[in-house]
């Protein structure tokens, strides 16, 4: 499938989201430009109602998940559903809700449930197993959860951001389910905002282990994440903007 078709599908995804509920403010469409869709390297494109992902059958998890995060999604009324289940859009050998059982790893969300409180559909779809990755409990319930909370703070402060997150599947630290599900050594998260007058982004890489370090210490460049994942982010932006955005570690534009 071509990048142009990925972009078209991603555009339809976010148009449908903004039409589904009037509670999503106009700002939500600002960061859903088709120029923001990442490329796929190991996987194939899957579109859900409020987020999209590229699914790697080899690793049995997404290589990236991408979505708009606005105040409406954070402040929504929907409670956590915990309905972990097979993603019906995974073509072959989907991961089941019990496939992490006894492994010692959490079913770690890539698109967090806390980012999908808009309604029952958004919350429930966040529990598809395609949105999970094996995470050490000290990581998932510690520094990773802290980062997820910080991203929600940024989304509230900036009236919406665009988020891309995923495992770095080039570096694997074991496997579960008889060797069929890869355990990543590390994860990345990229947060983007178009202010109208400028475009800013912050990127981080965290190891799949507990940490007491500051979030800022994990900041890196998008170029670095691209070199580790083989994924091209923001390729639809003009070259000068993309090059500046991806080569810079811009911690000063974000609260810590």
For helices 239-247 and 222-229, what crossing angle results, to 10°?
90
Q: Is the pTM of this model over 0.85?
A: yes
Token pair, residue 240, equals: 């000068």
Distance from C-alpha of 143 to C-alpha of 77, rounded to nearest angstrom: 26
The alpha helices in 109-214, defined as continuous H runs, are 120-125, 137-138, 144-157
* 3-class DSSP state of 25: coil
Helix or strand holding residue 5 (H, E):
helix 3-20
Q: For residue 105, give the nearest of 163, 182, 42, 53 by alpha carbon.
A: 182
Would you list the domain boundaries of the chain?
3-247
Hey, which CATH number is domain 3-247, 3.40.50.300, 2.40.420.20, 1.10.4160.10, 3.40.570.10? 3.40.570.10
| Ordered per-residue pLDDT tens for the chain, 256 residues | 555 545 545 544 444 444 333 333 333 333 345 669 899 999 999 999 999 999 999 999 999 999 999 999 999 999 999 999 999 999 999 999 999 999 999 999 999 999 999 999 999 999 999 999 999 999 999 999 999 999 999 999 999 999 999 999 999 999 999 999 999 999 999 999 998 899 999 999 999 999 999 999 999 999 999 999 999 999 989 999 999 999 999 999 999 9
**Residues whose CB is less than 8 angstroms from the CB of residue 217 and which lie 6 or more positions away in sequence, other chains included:** none
């Amino acid at each position: 499938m071509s990048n142009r078709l990925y972009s078209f599908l991603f555009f339809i995804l976010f148009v449908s989201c903004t039409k589904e509920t009037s509670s999503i403010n106009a700002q939500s469409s600002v960061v859903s430009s088709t120029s923001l869709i990442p490329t796929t390297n190991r996987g194939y494109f899957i579109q859900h109602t409020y987020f999209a992902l590229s699914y790697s059958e080899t690793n049995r998890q997404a290589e990236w998940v991408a979505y708009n995060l606005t105040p409406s999604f954070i402040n929504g009324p929907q409670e956590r559903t915990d309905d972990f289940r097979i993603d019906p859009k995974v073509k072959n050998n989907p991961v089941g809700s019990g496939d992490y059982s006894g492994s010692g790893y959490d079913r770690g969300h890539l698109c967090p449930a806390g980012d999908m409180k808009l309604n029952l559909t958004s919350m429930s779809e966040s529990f598809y197993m395609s949105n999970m990755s094996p995470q050490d409990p000290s990581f998932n319930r510690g520094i990773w959860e802290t980062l997820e909370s910080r991203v929600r703070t940024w989304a509230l402060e900036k009236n919406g951001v665009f988020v891309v997150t995923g495992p770095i599947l080039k570096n694997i630290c074991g496997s579960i389910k008889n060797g069929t599900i890869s355990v990543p050594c590390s994860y990345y998260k990229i947060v983007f905002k178009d202010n109208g007058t400028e475009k800013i982004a912050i990127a981080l890489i965290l190891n799949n282990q507990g940490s007491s370090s500051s979030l800022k210490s994990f900041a890196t460049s998008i170029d670095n994440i691209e070199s580790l994942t083989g994924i091209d982010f923001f390729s639809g932006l003009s070259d000068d903007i993309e090059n500046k955005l991806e080569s810079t570690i811009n911690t000063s534009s974000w609260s810590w």
